[in-house]
Amino acid sequence: MALILVVDDEPMVLETLGRMLEKSGHMVECAKDVESAVAAMSMRPPEIIFVDLVMPGTGGLTFIMENLSEQRHVAVIAMSGRIPVGTDSMLGLRSTLGICAFLAKPFTSAELAVVLDKALKSLR
């Protein structure tokens, strides 16, 4: 069981992903924006973070660069429904920013299970 932070500006994504992760036995914190995510991280540091790359205000990519790229003990899963996360340029950012995996929205429970398993294995 891991403490997981989900950062997304879409309430439906927060609710659905949060529920799916809780059903998998994990503790979940949700944040609707980067500012809320930073506050949540200061209260209870998560082991895994799902972060939407495109959000109003400070986006997920900036959040990763400013808050997570040096924290190798946190597994970061970058999500997007707008940016094609499988492109070479995005995959190049993976090692540079310490991103564990990418998840294209909308996603299936099977796709979620794959990236979650990868994140959990990276913590060991």
Summarize pLDDT for 68-114 with one digit per residue, the tens.
Answer: 866 668 999 999 876 666 655 566 677 778 888 999 999 999 999 99
The pLDDT value given to residue 91: 63
Torsion of CA 116, 74, 67, 100, to 10 degrees: -50
Q: At what angle do helices 11-23 and 109-122 cross, to 10 degrees?
A: 70
* pLDDT at position 5 over 70: yes
Chain-centre distance of CA 77, in angstroms?
Answer: 4
Torsion of CA 114, 32, 30, 5, to 10 degrees: 50
Q: How far apart are CA 31 and CA 39, in angstroms?
A: 9
The pLDDT value given to residue 83: 66
Is the entire prediction scored with pTM above 0.85?
yes
CB-based contact 123:47 (threshold 8 Å) = yes
- Kindly indicate the confidence band of residue 4, based on its pLDDT and cuts at 50, 70 and 90: very high
Q: Evaluate the omega torsion of the peptide bond into residue 106 and state whether it is cis, within 30 degrees of 0.
A: yes
CB-based contact 28:21 (threshold 8 Å) = yes
Chain-centre distance of CA 1, in angstroms?
Answer: 16
What domains sit in the chain, N to C, each tagged with a CATH number? 3-122 (3.40.50.2300)
- Kindly indicate the confidence band of residue 53, based on its pLDDT and cuts at 50, 70 and 90: very high
- Kindly indicate the confidence band of residue 58, based on its pLDDT and cuts at 50, 70 and 90: very high
The model's pLDDT over 29-45, given as tens digits with 9 standing for 90+, comes to 999 999 999 999 999 99
- Kindly indicate the confidence band of residue 12, based on its pLDDT and cuts at 50, 70 and 90: very high
